[in-house]
Structures are given as C-alpha cells and as structure tokens.
C-alpha cells in the first residue's frame, strides 16, 4: 500500500513538473508559432496571386457540390482582394500523384478567367523525376492560361519527362478548379 | 572525477559510438542526413534533449521507484523534446519544416532511452552529462559526415552552397534513403577496418 | 570419432582445364556477338565508349582496390571484364562518358570488393552498378539514342520532322509504361520479329534476343552454365505476362529479359547451389521482372527482379541443402 502511494506520488510529481515546464514554453512560443504559420501562408498565397494584398478564408460549402473524387480533394479556399475588391480565388487542393497526394495552391483571376499562379506545398513524388512538377520550369506553363483550356497532359500541358502521372495530377487540379470557377460564374 | 568525465565523453565518440557501434537511433540518421544543415540541427536537438534528460534522470534517480522508471523517463524525455520542437517551430521554422516528424520522434529515439536506462539512472549527474554529451556529439559527428557525402554527391552542394560546377547532375541514390543505408554500412566497415589496423 | 584420412597421392596429378579465367573468357566470347551487333546497329560513336569505358572502369577499380587494401591482385581472373561487359551492354547507347565510370566503380567497389571479392558477393556486381545508375540518373538511363529509321513512335506522339543522324526514341517497354500495352503494337508491323532480331531502340547489348540466345547456347555447349535458371526465369515471366493478358513472347524478347536470364541470373556466386533452389530462384526473378513491368513504376524490371532474388540465395541454399548420396530430399 505504501509502495503504491510512493509510485503514484513520484509519477504525479514528475508529470506536474513536466506539465508546468511545457505550459511555460507553450505560452512563450505560441504567438510566434501562429505568426510564422500565418506569414508562411500569406507568402504562399502571395506567390499564386501576386496582385492581391489581402486574402480572406472562404467556406468551401459556398461553392455547392465540389467536383471531388478519390483523386482530388478541395482543402481550403480564399478570396483574393485588392483595394477591398474581389480579384479572384485561391484554392488549396490535394491531387493524387505518383507517390501520394500533391497539395498545391491554385490561384484564379475570376475577372479575366485566368490562372494566376500555382504553388506546390507538399508532395512525395520521386526526387529528380516527379519532384520537378514543383519547379517553376513546369508550373510556369500554367500561368495566364484561360480557364476554358482542357488542362490535359499531352494536349495543352507539357508533362515533365518521365513523370506523366505527377504532371497529370497538377493538370487535374487546375482543371477541377477551373470547373468550379466556371460553374460559379454562371 | 575529471578523468572519468573525459573517459565517458570519449566513449560515445568512438568506442561506443551510438550509430556506428551500438547501431541505435538509425532511423533519424537515414531520414534527416540529406543535407548538412538538417544534420547539424538534428544533432543539436539530440544533444540538448539527451543532455538535459540524462541530467534530470540522474538527479532524480534515487527518488524514482523502480516500477515506474520507464514511464518517468519517457515523461522527462518527451518534455524536453516538446520544448525543442516548440522552440524550433517558433524561431527556426525552415529547419523545423525540413526535419518534420523527426524532431517529435526524438522521444522514441533509442539513443536517449537507452542511455537513460543504461547509464543516467545509475550514475551521478556529472558522469551522466559526460556520457550524454559524448553520445550526442558522436551521433552528430556521424550524421554530419554522412550528410556531407549525401549533400555533396546528391546535390553538388555543401550547406546549400554549390561546390561542383553547374553541369554536375546530382546522384539521386544519395538523396534517397538507400544512399544513407549504403553510407552507414560503408562507415561501419571503414571504422572496423581502421580499428583493426590500430591494434593488430 | 573416426579420423578423416585425406591423402595426397604422388604426382602426376590431373589438372582440370576448367579454371576461373577460362570460364570468364567463355562468357566474354558468348557476349561478343551481341556487343558487336550493338556497335553496328547504334554506330561506334554511340555504343563503343560506354562499352569500353565500363570494362576499363571495372578492371581499373578492382586493381585500385586490391592495391589500396593490400589484397592479392585478382584482375587476372577476367571476372572484372565480364562485369564490365555486362554493365556496358546494359547501358543506353550514347550515355555520357561518366555513367560507365561511376557504374563500374559502384559495381566493383560496392557490389564485389566490399563483400570480399570474387565468390563472396551476394549481389551480381553488374546489376548493383546498373541499379545505382537507374536510381541516380533516371533521365539519362531512359534516354535512348537510335538512328532515325528505327525510332519507335506511339501513335499518340508527334513525329520528328527534321532529318538528323541520331534521335532519341522510346523503347517498347517505355511505350508500354507511358501509353499502355496496346500502344506498343501500333508502332509498326512485325514487332515481335524486330524484337527478336534486335532492330529496336534499347540498351547496347540487350536488343537482339537472337544473338544473346546464340551466345547462351555456346555457353551451354561448353558446359559453363546450366539451363535451369533461364528456363524457369522464362516460365516465371511468361506466367505473369499471361496473368496481365499480355503476350509472353513480347516480354521475353523486350528489354533485358534474355540478357538477365541467361547471363546475369546465372552468375555462379549469386545463384543457389541446388537444382531446386535454382528453379525457385529463376522463377522468382522472372516473375518479379514481369510484376515490376506490369504494375511497378519502372518500365523494366530485370535489374530489381534479379537483385531481389539474389538477396534470397543464402536462404534458398539453407532451406534446400544439397545432400550427397540422397536421391530425394
């Protein structure tokens, strides 16, 4: 009985001390971490939509039924604004590539019906082959593309050589985003 | 006391090097050693967690009941790991992103648990710190050496500065996990070979 | 315990003419027709440098290693020449000069000397070199130069308009991976016939099934190799091809299947000792080759198929020991 008390006491003391230490560190770093995450998101959004100054998160439900399938999922949506006026939309999409989902941001200018930019946030594609879809060399071909384009690898999209599946995943993300935006305009 | 300190410190560098001799904590070596920068960051994180937790565990070793020593070690280790994780996320976000899950995974890194159980919980604080520093530095040396080779041949760079001419085409096998496996194997072979040569 | 009495009788002794250098030379002879055809078909400018450099690299690195680690010089046994030829023949024509050098270095140092030299290695050295090259420089290892007349074009791809002396082309297996199995049959008539003769883009020495089979036949007649591994390799590969509803003959003649089955899987040190072990080994390597081609990410599976089975050889030898004087195990 006495032993059990001793064991319980030891564990409790250690846990309490650990919890105190952690809460102090958490309080100290909390703001900074949130700030960093915000800054990172803002930077990424700025890359795909350079013209806009502010981005407001939107509810994905506002777009009605999304054209999702097992190969593509919509994660987040933002409204890109400049001078308080809506310029376009940015979508965070997960599209299945060769090694797993490729998470990317797709920026769309809704006034001109064009793609404004792409940025790959996460991927597990083969280094040296599929990983090249995250490079500007591949992504720049989408810049300024009309939303009416078919976004099909081999037709209007040039695949990264040796990485057709990864290239298709990026093209698919653009095609689906274009589909949503076209649907919204009607 | 000082001589003992150096004895246990040196032990971790070569004789009982955690990676090449004890062969523990290998998963983080495989995963993180792609670039030298990550290796140094990971090494610093491991040294910090290992030293702090060894010190604390050694200090409380007489207070800890034998039945619950493992849970207590884990609480101590995970506390320090979480501190490192939070601090890195706040002040070194790119490094924290590059190492991803491997910082939180220091909790289950065998080096730290093994040293806590085998050494820190039985020895006075000063020696526990000596052992922890030796093990941590030994780990950092090996992971950095592997990182240098992988970054040099994989990307043609050291600390992200180009070393080879621009025409150099990176050797992908070095960047992928197999490269780390091969390099660890080769390092072990070379270490054993050279130790054998020293004392015939 | 009864003492073993092994007595050396008085000379003269019979010396077997079958020595390691002799065996290795036979393999080199057997590979020559395929090598010559590679040089003729792709032209010396594309095919000769990889071949020559790969042999030189293998021999050179073995000599260097022996000197550096104070081992007795084993270059004279011709095994490094065989490794170099196998590696060179499985490179794409027109690859940069440093590809065979790196490949040869990896093959000999990592694949062979690291394990203790000839007879000690677990993996076929030439395949180790090729695997590292495949993983490291996938683009270079999948760039196939060929004379324009022999370019393979899937129906979907655009055609080359400008006449140049060499162009890059897809290989049959590359077309299967990128455009699907039916596309390869739309590339032109008599595909199987061209595959068999070697009138297609591919690795320097792997294109002609006919010449490789002739070389293998020579080795069989010279009793240097046995038929069991290649036969079961073919069976394994054909079975998977049938499961995939694809033509087994296409899979046997395409890519490096014949080269792998006849010359790489049959390597003494890296194949099992018992007959049953060799059958399992061959079947497994063939089946894995087919499975990688069918479902895997790489168009060709010979390298990884054989290497995987190489790793199982110690296990196979242990599970199926050769029992002297016992008929049924």
Digit-coded pLDDT (tens) for B38-84 = 899 899 999 999 999 999 999 998 888 888 889 999 999 999 999 99
- Closest residue in B to C116 (Cα) is B189
Cα separation, B113 vs B97, in Å, equals: 25
pLDDT at C87 over 90: yes
Q: Domain residues of chain C, as ranges?
A: 20-141, 146-191+227-315
The reply to whether residue B86 touches residue A11, judged by beta carbons under 8 angstroms, is: no
- When mean pLDDT is compared over A78-82, A176-180, C102-106, C203-207, the highest value belongs to C102-106
> Is A179 among the domain residues?
yes
Mean pLDDT confidence for B103-110 = 84
- Closest residue in C to A125 (Cα) is C297
C-alpha pair distances (Å), B49 with each of A106, B46, B132, C108: 40, 5, 9, 42
Banded model confidence at residue C50, pLDDT cuts 50, 70, 90: very high
Instruction: Kindly tell me the sign of the dihedral angle through the C-alpha atoms of C135, C136, C142, C147.
Output: negative
A-contacting chains (≥3 CB pairs under 8 Å): B, C
A 10 A CB-CB count for A93 gives 28
- For chain A, the domain total comes to 1
Burial of A58 (0-12, 13-18, 19+ CB in 10 A): middle
> Is A110 among the domain residues?
yes
Which has the closest alpha carbon to C152: C184, C104, C180? C184
With beta carbons under 8 A apart, name residues in chain A contacting B82. 22, 25
Residue pLDDT, tens place only, C162-179: 445 677 788 888 888 877
Probe site for chain C from A126, A162, A166, A168 (most C CB atoms < 10 A): A162
Q: C111 with C125: CB under 8 angstroms?
A: yes
With beta carbons under 8 A apart, name residues in chain B contacting C137. 169, 171-172
- Considering only CB atoms, C138 lies closest to which of A98, A129, A154, namely A129
Residue A109, domain extent? 48-184
- Considering only CB atoms, C297 lies closest to which of A98, A128, A154, namely A98
- Considering only CB atoms, C138 lies closest to which of A98, A128, A154, namely A128
> Is A117 among the domain residues?
yes
Q: Domain residues of chain B, as ranges?
A: 2-145
Q: What tokens were used for C116?
A: 């203790």
Banded model confidence at residue C327, pLDDT cuts 50, 70, 90: low
Q: Check if A100 contacts C (Cβ < 8 Å).
A: no
The reply to whether residue A25 touches residue B87, judged by beta carbons under 8 angstroms, is: yes
What residues contact residue A69 under an 8 Å CB cut-off, 6+ apart? none
- Closest residue in B to A127 (Cα) is B172
Instruction: Kindly tell me the sign of the dihedral angle through the C-alpha atoms of C304, C306, C310, C312.
Output: positive
Probe site for chain A from C178, C179, C180 (most A CB atoms < 10 A): C178
* C159 CA: distance to closest CA in chain A (Å): 14
The reply to whether residue B72 touches residue A6, judged by beta carbons under 8 angstroms, is: no
List the end-to-end C-alpha distance of chain A, in Å, as a whole number.
75
Mean pLDDT confidence for A98-116 = 89
A 10 A CB-CB count for C69 gives 10
With beta carbons under 8 A apart, name residues in chain B contacting C132. 173
- Closest residue in B to A39 (Cα) is B93
> Is A58 among the domain residues?
yes
Cα separation, C111 vs C107, in Å, equals: 5
* B3 CA: distance to closest CA in chain A (Å): 32
C-alpha pair distances (Å), A8 with each of A2, A11, A18: 10, 5, 15
Reduce the DSSP state of residue A93 to 3 states and report it: strand
Cα separation, A167 vs A139, in Å, equals: 10
| 0.95 surpassed by complex ipTM | no
The angle subtended at Cα C54 by Cα C25 and Cα C24, nearest 5°, is: 15
* Helix (H) or strand (E) run with residue A134 in it: none
pLDDT of residue C69: 84
């Amino acid at each position: 009985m006495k032993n059990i008390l001793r064991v319980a006491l030891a564990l409790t003391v250690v846990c309490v001390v650990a919890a105190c230490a952690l809460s102090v560190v958490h309080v100290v770093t909390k703001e900074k971490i949130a700030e960093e995450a915000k800054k990172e998101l803002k930077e990424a959004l700025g890359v795909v939509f350079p013209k806009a100054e502010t981005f407001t998160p939107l509810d994905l439900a506002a777009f009605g039924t999304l054209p999702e399938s097992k190969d593509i999922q919509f994660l987040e949506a933002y409204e890109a604004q400049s001078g308080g006026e809506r310029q376009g939309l940015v979508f965070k999409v997960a599209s299945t590539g060769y090694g797993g989902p490729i998470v990317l941001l797709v920026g769309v200018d809704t006034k001109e019906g064009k793609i404004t930019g792409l940025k790959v946030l996460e991927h597990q594609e083969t280094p040296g082959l599929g990983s090249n879809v995250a490079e500007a060399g591949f992504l720049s071909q989408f810049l300024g593309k009309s939303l009416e384009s078919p976004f099909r690898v081999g037709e209007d999209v040039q695949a990264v050589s040796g990485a057709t599946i990864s290239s298709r995943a990026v093209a698919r993300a653009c095609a689906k985003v274009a589909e949503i935006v076209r649907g919204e305009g009607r | 006391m000082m001589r003992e300190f150096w004895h246990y410190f040196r032990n971790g560098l070569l004789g009982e090097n955690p990676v090449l001799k004890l062969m523990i904590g290998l998963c983080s070596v495989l995963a993180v050693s792609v670039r030298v920068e990550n290796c140094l960051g990971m090494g610093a994180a491991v040294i910090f967690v290992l030293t702090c937790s060894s010190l604390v565990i050694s200090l409380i070793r007489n207070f800890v009941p034998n039945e619950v020593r493992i849970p207590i070690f884990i609480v101590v280790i995970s506390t320090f790991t979480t501190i490192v994780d939070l601090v890195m996320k706040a002040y070194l976000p790119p490094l924290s992103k590059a190492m991803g899950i491997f910082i939180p995974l220091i909790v289950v890194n065998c080096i730290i648990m093994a040293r806590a159980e085998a050494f820190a919980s039985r020895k006075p604080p000063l020696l526990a710190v000596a052992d922890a520093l030796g093990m941590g530095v030994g780990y950092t040396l090996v992971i950095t050496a592997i990182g240098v080779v992988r970054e040099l041949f994989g990307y043609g760079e050291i600390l992200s500065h180009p070393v080879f001419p621009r025409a150099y085409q990176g050797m992908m096998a070095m960047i992928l996990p197999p490269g780390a496996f091969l390099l660890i194997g080769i390092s072990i072979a070379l270490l054993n070979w050279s130790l054998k040569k020293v004392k015939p | 315990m009864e003492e073993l009495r092994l007595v050396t009788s008085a000379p003269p002794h019979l010396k077997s003419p079958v020595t390691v250098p002799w065996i290795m030379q036979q393999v080199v002879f057997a590979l020559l027709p395929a090598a010559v055809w590679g040089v003729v078909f792709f032209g010396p400018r594309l095919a000769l440098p990889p071949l020559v450099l790969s042999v030189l690299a293998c021999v050179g690195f073995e000599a260097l290693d022996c000197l550096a680690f104070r081992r007795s010089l084993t270059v004279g046994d011709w095994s490094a020449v065989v490794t170099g030829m196998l590696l060179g023949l499985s490179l794409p024509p027109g690859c940069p000069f440093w590809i065979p050098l790196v490949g040869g270095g990896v093959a000999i140092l990592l694949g062979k000397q690291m394990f203790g030299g000839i007879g000690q290695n677990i993996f076929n050295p030439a395949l180790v070199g090729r695997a590292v090259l495949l993983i490291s420089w996938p683009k270079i290892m999948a760039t196939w130069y060929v004379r324009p007349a022999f370019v393979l074009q899937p129906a979907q791809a655009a055609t080359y308009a400008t006449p140049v002396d060499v162009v890059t082309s897809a290989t049959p297996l590359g077309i299967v991976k990128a455009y699907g199995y039916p596309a390869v049959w739309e590339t032109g008539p008599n595909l199987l016939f061209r595959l068999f003769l070697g009138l297609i883009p591919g690795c320097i020495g792997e294109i002609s099934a006919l010449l490789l089979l002739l070389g293998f036949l020579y080795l069989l007649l010279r009793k240097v190799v046995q038929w069991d591994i290649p036969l079961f390799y073919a069976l394994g590969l054909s079975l998977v091809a049938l499961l995939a509803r694809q033509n087994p003959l296409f899979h046997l003649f395409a890519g490096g299947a014949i080269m792998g089955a006849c010359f790489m899987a049959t390597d003494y040190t890296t194949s099992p000792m018992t007959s049953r072990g060799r059958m399992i080994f061959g079947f497994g390597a063939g089946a894995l080759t087919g499975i990688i081609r069918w479902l895997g990410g790489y168009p060709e599976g010979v390298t990884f198929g054989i290497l995987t089975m190489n790793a199982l050889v110690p296990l196979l030898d242990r599970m199926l020991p050769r029992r002297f004087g016992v008929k049924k195990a």
